[in-house]
A and B are shown apart, each in its own frame.
Chain A
Amino acid sequence: MQSVQLTVNGVSTLESVEPRLNLADLLRERLGLTGTHLRCEQGACGACTLLIDGQPARSCITYAVLCEGAQITTIEGLEDDPVMVALRRAFTAEHGLQCGFCTPGMLITARDIVTRLPDADERRIRLELSGNLCRCTGYVGIVRAVRRVLEEHRAGHFVVAPSERRKLGPVGSGHAGLAAGDMPVSMAVPMGGDTPGTYGEVKLGLAGKKPNIEIRQSFVIARPQTRELR
């Protein structure tokens, strides 16, 4: 088992995982964030798309351990995001969803189009959407919804902070450049369930290497009665 620290929707979490656990399963099974959907586990269908360090990525072929220290944003974490608010309105008006299974991943990609490519035309929109499969809508309502939001964006209906992306390399990787012993002991805020109890054992030390010191901590967290997760 390996320890991985992630910031999920703004909340830091520390989980003990098998290296083979993918990010989608960690979010869905451990943290109750089931809005991100799993289907092909090959990176082809796009249903699992979420934001890692603010950029769209496939959570089905990204093992959680590879994202040590990264910022993960799921559909639940974009509840109040102005672009997402506009997209939700547009998707309903243009009937951009039917069964809803591809929708969270589709919205993440749609948001990326609006924020990264504000001048995209229909052809470009379709190209950028080609990595998100939908079997229900024929893409008509989706493309119309994205066009509508692009027009609203160009007309200044909402402000989007341009993402300053300078870091090279795979998004989500490269945060774990810390020497042994520097692993942060963040306050592990549990993200699911109502039962209080021992959170678990947290083992610190460099993954794979024999640490000089092994620190074990176990602590009880009184979980709040209501958790607004999403």
Chain B
Amino acid sequence: MSAKVAFTIDGKTVQGEQGQTILQAAALASIYIPHLCAMKGLSPWGSCRVCTVLVNGRPQAACTTPVAEGAVVENDTAELKDLRSSLVEMLFVEGNHYCMFCEKSGNCELQAMAYRLGILAMRHPYMFPVRTLDASHPDVMVELNRCILCARCIRASQELDGKHVFDFVGRGSHRHIGVNAATGAGGTNLKVTDKAAEACPVGSIVKKRVGFAVPIGQRLYDSKPIGSAIESGRAAKG
């Protein structure tokens, strides 16, 4: 068993273990730190920065920062909430997020994060970028208008499926998800049963023909905020 590491989050003492990240230790202590690119079972990534916390006064991504003895972590503060809101708003304006007809609405982690943070409108101007939709795969749609570049599909494909279906293409504001076939997702060895097909937090990689199997209003985040499972201690048990 790994060595115990004691630190505090918002004044509450948390017992972590050597090698855990702050995000993991917090979840096991039923403390929710908002996050998007981090996903249980995938290696830490640290790209979305929504999990930014103050560690001994310095901003750090909780999903990539290891626990340290005696560290003082601030998570639930007005300042951090505003920073996270701004990050989430940037993700909204730099893509084309039409929640009103998106089949992921209600199950979407980006949308749920905005709900939890109480975002009513975006402070940044909308960019309305030109992005592509790839429906060439018989069972899976790749809709880059909704992509937030979290790399969960890339990591899931490599780390869990043992494949290399997705990866980043391009640089800077041109960076986007590409698939490992010139003919689109239909030309890859992606299967609808792959972990990569369900790792997407938004509606960018969705399974076909099941989009509205659960009606709007009865979905994951329709009545309970994202993070409720962690806060109620379910993450610690399972």
A, B bound: no
**Residues of chain B whose beta carbon lies under 8 Å from any beta carbon of chain A:** none
